[in-house]
Structure 1
Amino acid sequence: MRSLVNTFFTLLLVIQLQAQVSLDTDKEFASSEQEIAFSNSDSQMGNNGFKFETFTTGINSKYSDYGVGFFKDKFISFSARKIGALAKLDPKTNEPYTKLYCSDITYEWDLRRPLLFSHILNKGENLGTISFSKEGDRIYFSKSSKEDTQTFQLYTAIMNPDNEGEWINITALPFNSTLYSIENPHLSKDGRTLYFSSNMPEAIGGYDIFKVTVKSDGTYGDVERLEGSVNTVLDEKFPHTSLDGKYLYFSSNGHDSMGGFDIFRSRNTSFNYVATRNLGNTINSLKDEIAFIPATKTIGYFTSDREGGKGSYDIYKTNEYIVDQNVTGIIRDTETQILLSKATVVLLDANGEQVATTSSNLDGEYTFPVDAFVDYTILAYKEGFERNSISFDTNTNLVSTFEANISLDAKPAEIVETEEKSFIKIDNILFDFNSDKIKDISTITLNTVIATLQENPTIKIDIKAHTDIQGSNQYNLKLSKKRAASAMKYILGKGISKDRLTSEGYGESQPLIDCTICSDDQHEQNRRVEFIIVRD
């Protein structure tokens, strides 16, 4: 959108400039050097987690001006501004009939003097919202009926491939009807879905937002009212998707709006539209705010009849303050609060769909980038532990980090039975170097043994400790006996009866791997503590 004006639009503007009739007066336009920030502090609604700064634009007149969107690096609007001295008045608004205009956009996203967009489209009736295909070769636009200047119908047209700037094959959409109005067309980025507002009989209120599939052969699917939390028994109008397609912006005088129409945002999921939120009092006022149009992640435009404007409706530019957001947390063992590394952590959205997966680091930490105003669930699991989850919502656009810590309960250790022996299967017990002091991380393993003993109150175990072949036989035997006794002491300290436990050390006499020149891994496997079930 910030690219240089292309050849096509240069030619188009030359044609338009030649045909342009002088407007009433240069004083009609606001100066981009005179932007004024607006405050809505008189409203009772808070900022709702959003923060906007709002400014006038350079194209407002003393008549009604409405923003529409973008086409070929131009800003498109429709306006009742008077062209010539004998402009025909709409008897219902007492303003001139609305026409389509296009404006240059500066690098500061200000707007410059509007020019008539198309003499072919700008006929006698009111023109309203217009939407363009991604390639710019097809349009959908709304035009009032001749019988009722405030009842609109939808039309489509294509650009003449032999005459750029000329729209041909103007065709009414097949679901038009003189019995109701169809307004505010908006085509999705992929060109497959056309959104619009209508008071057709299927609406649950006055005006609802509908959608229809645009098929590859140019035909249309069934008209569907948007499911989810968008439509109310009052009016919803001006649908417009976000740049990434995740959200639908729209205006409504339902949803407990502040005054008339407010701007809302609803999240698009695979099921329906959820989490509808008012954008708050830093953009909405006690008057009408309609037709929100995102330009970048933070810059957008909207239309309002708020106090202090130049005409009955004016176009405003807005800058949203957004911070990059993430959720971070620590995975711990529930009983010991020891940090758990290599736990699998999964981020789920409100529909249970997986958004991302990661593993906790050596400090038990994880982090995910997240979006604002979404209900999430964090699921964590690790071998030897029960799964656990925690839910949270990112209920603001202004907080950079959310915290969600999770504790995992260790599972009871497994009992394994073979022909030779029965034993409790565990990870190896780790000790400090040349010491019988149990490392903190191994207290989790010992707790799983305790849980198994508690679940099986009749079994007895013999704790057998072994060393590797490094060091003297006498030293290794003494060290192993102390390590076996240390493990037994820990278990006794957790309430297991002494008559269920025995311990013994075997030094290096019973290696798991018989080697004379052993690798570090072989030494580690030979250093072990076994929990053998004593058979009667």
Structure 2
Amino acid sequence: MLQDSLNTDYQYQLATAARLNYQNDLSFYWYKKIFDENAEKYPDVIFYLGVLSKNKGDYKNAIKYFGKFQRKYKSTKKYPEYARLVELSRQHIQGCENALISKKDNLSIQHLDTNVNSPLSEYAPFMNDTALLFSSLRKNSDATTEIKLYSSVFKNDTFHKARLLSSFFNDKNINVANACIYRNFIFFTKCQPLNAMEYECKIYVSRYIHHHWTEPIELHYEINHPRYTTTHPFATKWNNKHTLFFSSNRPNGMGGMDIWYAYFDEQLNFEKPVNAGKNINTEHDEITPFLDTQKQVLYFSSNTPLGFGGFDIFYAPSVQGQFEKPINMGSPINTSYNDMYYSLSSDRKYAFFSSNRTESFFESEPNCCNDIYYYLTGDGANTGDTTIPVFTKRDTIIQTFGKLKLLVPLTLYFHNDEPDPKTKKTTTDKNYQRTCELYLQMKDEYIREYSSGLKGDEKEKAIELVTNFFEDSVEYGFSQLEKFTAYLEELMNNKAIVKIVMKGYCSPLASTEYNINLAKRRISSLRNYFYQYKNGKLLPYIRNENDTTIGKIILVDEDIGELPFSKVSDDLKDKRNSVYSPYAAAERKIQIIAVELK
């Protein structure tokens, strides 16, 4: 096996198997090894390094991997097979940025103790009066595992030792989960394994009559679609009708698992299920619906790339029977791990959810298993709801500025003595975008000149260094500038005042005085980019002196010439090292070094 692992094909198989088995660290190790030694053979390795970094909460490195994949394979003509991963990379970057600037609500998340949680998995909490119903994966006496329904009595502010529900609900050799009580009904699911990774689940119901629960029955095939999974039932009153929400991978959805609902009457006659719609469902998985009937807000979880990693909890208000665009619940409710099964206690004082975050108990592998968590909502039956984060216009500005600030320091690169070579001017008519485009067109020239005279591994290394510089520095820098300017425009639309500090550097091929003027010309080209952005859209804000009815951009220069302690050759005759070397090229730069929200 050790010998086989030296082969890239085996390394890739090991990495993929570990990723699918949620062994993130092992998977990352093998993918990174391939990336360092033979990335061209398996291009998707870069994408999966981004996914694994995101799943670990390493959002900044995740953004770098996703960005590199985007830039390298963005041409749909040249790489049509990677178009989907390129789009997913874009969404993942947005999700990482959202996580990094997430509004940290002052919530104290509590981890239920071993009276409820075990080293395996607990999930689907549903608190009805003084009893917490939940599902748990636990070992049988013969060391096999099954999912069953449990309950814990809540008394004197303590959740007491959980007990297995009656065999009336918990069938032998069948996984039973996701209990929900509504009026005199209890809905739950029974699941049979299809293979090692997949289950087929169906919803059952029992009615409480004359102090007894009736024999559970499987819901009609309109609900339990044959050959597909139907699970996560939640029954409530919505649109003045009894409504069963559930998740299913049945046909005619948006893709993956979707949230559905169906109206029903007292005799459990169900209308045809309705998909919750494109505001809620995506091509990914949407699961574990819970409707807050008092506020008419739907909570659910989704593994959309726009989230923080794994499954995130979202909420979507219902207005006139239609769900609005969902909003991420933010940190600390959501993490880079799986956060699911959000619910409120019947008295609305407690919010529960399940997560495999770092604090969760585990038997062998960290983050393998879900535990139940809760927090106090500050709410009650007769008080206002505080379970939903409230976002003001200022919060929107702060969030957008947070995304802008993540891009700083933002570094932009230039060819030698550009723009306007062999002059002492301190300004230029050139726009940085055009300067950058011309620079990128010189990539082959840089490769040819820097690798000239080299052979074998040395030549390959030189080509790799130049290629990486153009992709990861020049092209990446401009893509970050485009993103920076889009956020800046958004801030101006919200009448913000933003200060931007710019600084220039040069490699040592001329006098200090010449380099200072060159640094000024380079900053001038960046100013021109801002001036000319979208035909001058930012100009009114840059020129704004004291008009408080619109936003304002304050551009500040800090001019520096040659970098201190430079080891780059300043020999004009040695152009390979003084001009075409990636080390020399890395010094020909300007930066946006700071931004400030006034």
Question: With structure 2 as the length reference, what TM-score do the two structures score?
Answer: 0.44
**Higher CA-based Rg:** 1
- Would you tell me which structure has more helix in proportion to its own residues? 2
- Would you tell me which structure has more strand in proportion to its own residues? 1
